[in-house]
Amino acid sequence: MSTDAQIEEFYKEQTIFLTGGTGFLGKILIEKLLRQCWDLNKIYVLVRPKKGKSSKERFKEFFEYACFDLIKCKNLSEKVFLISGDIQKPFLGLGVQDAELLKKETTCVIHAAANVKFDQTLKEASHNVRATRDVLELAKQMPNLKVSSKTLQLFMKYYFKVFVHVSTAFSNCVHSHIEERFYTPPMKSETFLGLVDDLDDNTLQAITPKLLGEYPNTYIYTKCITEDLVKTNLQVPKAIVRPAIVIGTIEEPVPGWVDNLYGAIGIVLAAALGVLRSLHAKKSNLSHLVPVDYVANCILAAAWKAHRSGTTTIYNYTGDTKNMITWGEFMELIDGQCWDFPTEKIVWYFCFKLRENELWHKICVFFLHTVAAYFADFVLICVGRTTIAVKNYRRLDKMMDLISYFSTRSWTFEQDNVLELWDQMGKDDKKMFKFSMEDTDWVKYTRDSILGGRMYLLKETLDTIPKGKKKLKILFVIHYAVVALFWYSLYKFLMFVASSLYGNF
């Protein structure tokens, strides 16, 4: 087995077109490429206007994120270039000049853009399919990417480049065992997009449950359709990487870096703040958590392998089967870290629990979320402030209901292609582009995750820990005083009811 840095060499002088570059995974992909593969030619990043800021304004602020601290000394403008566009617009919202530039120069496409919200409408989620179609159509017109005949593919094996599509391990979650292969989609992309275009919003919303069938949400539904699109379009080497539940960095560029509140990250932070107190989940189910930097490394390695083999391969990146932890084990580790490194912004005592019984979970949600929210808003009204608790808890409970589909079910994933990819990498590549989780220290990882959440999401430094511990102790006393008062009041109420009923006889 060669010990040469073959992956780093593969990216030398490459011109990469990246969608989703401003997202969580996209930032890590860019940082890794710039830090490890500086000899690449260019990275073109698709950026859309957002929250009142233009594409140029967002791009100007892009490298202010802490994940880029290690490479800020480099002249990043030499390597990274803005492409103004929007995956929610036809043909990616590209201008004519930008489209021609991408067609002329691109040698590798990494399509990582997607709307990952679970509660989006089918029309909103349809952009996942439409954008993938448009990226593929653009890629077909890239002479440095396109190879039309099998003979030419064999002849030019070491010259043509690749297309990488980032999907999700749960794109085919209607199956309990998920192989590294293409599955039949619930609907062909042409039919799906035609349906979305032809129906008005109200009609589409009304038939969405029937269309989804066993699929849990519109995001998963559309990601399944996009995989079929990639299968049937563009005759170049392709890789589809299906990461499972992506959370903060484990090693690079720094342990614990995170920039969003989606999925498991949001659960951990909401629990640490004392806001979230119950989640419907099976404690014995495997969590399938994967670090975002390892996901990025797997994607970059998969592109190298596709170029090397000249084939299309699917990778289920879901963690190492010999070193996985369950939801119960993960939350036990988080519980300990929340006690060791409490945040000063904690609003209530950390009393989060995973509850396997759905009825008991709903009862706890009613008392610990709904009743508590109304009480909090009542207090806000009394002091003349705007009410926020009920509205926020409704949104939180809705999201937890969507997540519970994944926390109460179990899947097994085939990983032969991931293991083969790792085995074919040389020693140097395994160090520079590590994604094996066989030796992951979960205790250290959860500690780094909590510290990273404090630092990068809550903007708290380590010197606030003593204040956080003091506040946690006070809230501990208040919490159990309230619990005792509740049970005492309930007892007195039941005694009053009983005495009233028996007193009538």
Residues 6+ apart with CB under 8 A from 36: 8, 432, 433
The mean predicted confidence, pLDDT, of the chain is: 89
CA dist., res. 252 & res. 293, Å (int): 6
Above 60 in pLDDT, residue 152?
no
- Mean pLDDT, residues 299-318: 93
Residues facing residue 50 across a β-bridge? 53
Please report which confidence band the pLDDT of residue 2 belongs to, taking 50, 70 and 90 as the band edges. very low
Cα 499 from Cα 503, distance rounded (Å)? 6
Contact 160, 235 (CB under 8 A): no
Instruction: Work out the average pLDDT over 43-52.
Output: 87
What gap in Å lies between CA 362 and CA 404, rounded to an integer? 12
State which fold the 9-236 domain adopts: Rossmann fold (3.40.50)
Is pLDDT at 336 greater than 90 in this prediction? no
Which one, of 22, 76, 79, 29, lies nearest residue 49 by Cα?
22
Mean pLDDT of 479-488: 85
Counting residues of the chain whose pLDDT is more than 90, the rounded percentage is 64
**CA pair distance 92, 132, nearest whole angstrom:** 9
Q: Is the pLDDT of residue 158 over 70?
A: no
- Among candidates 160, 166, 153, 152, which has minimal Cα distance to 107? 160
What is the predicted pLDDT for the residue at 3? Answer: 55
149 pLDDT band (50/70/90 cuts)? very low
First-to-last C-alpha distance (Å) of the chain: 89
- pLDDT value for 46: 93
Tell me if residue 363 falls in helix, strand or coil.
helix
Domain with CATH 3.40.50.720 in the chain: 9-236
Judged against a pLDDT cut of 70, whether residue 444 lies above it is answered with: yes
Residue-wise pLDDT for 348-371, tens only, equals 888 899 999 999 999 999 988 998
Residue 14 zone, left/alpha/beta (φ > 0; ψ -120 to 50; rest): beta
* Residue spans of beta strands (DSSP E) within 160-280: 162-166, 177-178, 238-243, 245-247, 278-280
Model-level pTM?
Answer: 0.91
Say what the pLDDT of residue 267 is: 86
Amino acid at residue number 268: V
Helix (H/G/I), strand (E/B), else coil: 352: coil
For range 377-389, the mean pLDDT: 88
Pick the closest to residue 188 from 217, 219, 231 (CA basis): 231
What pLDDT, in 10s, does the model give residues 251-286?
999 999 998 887 788 888 888 888 999 999 999 999
Tokens of 389: 């608790």
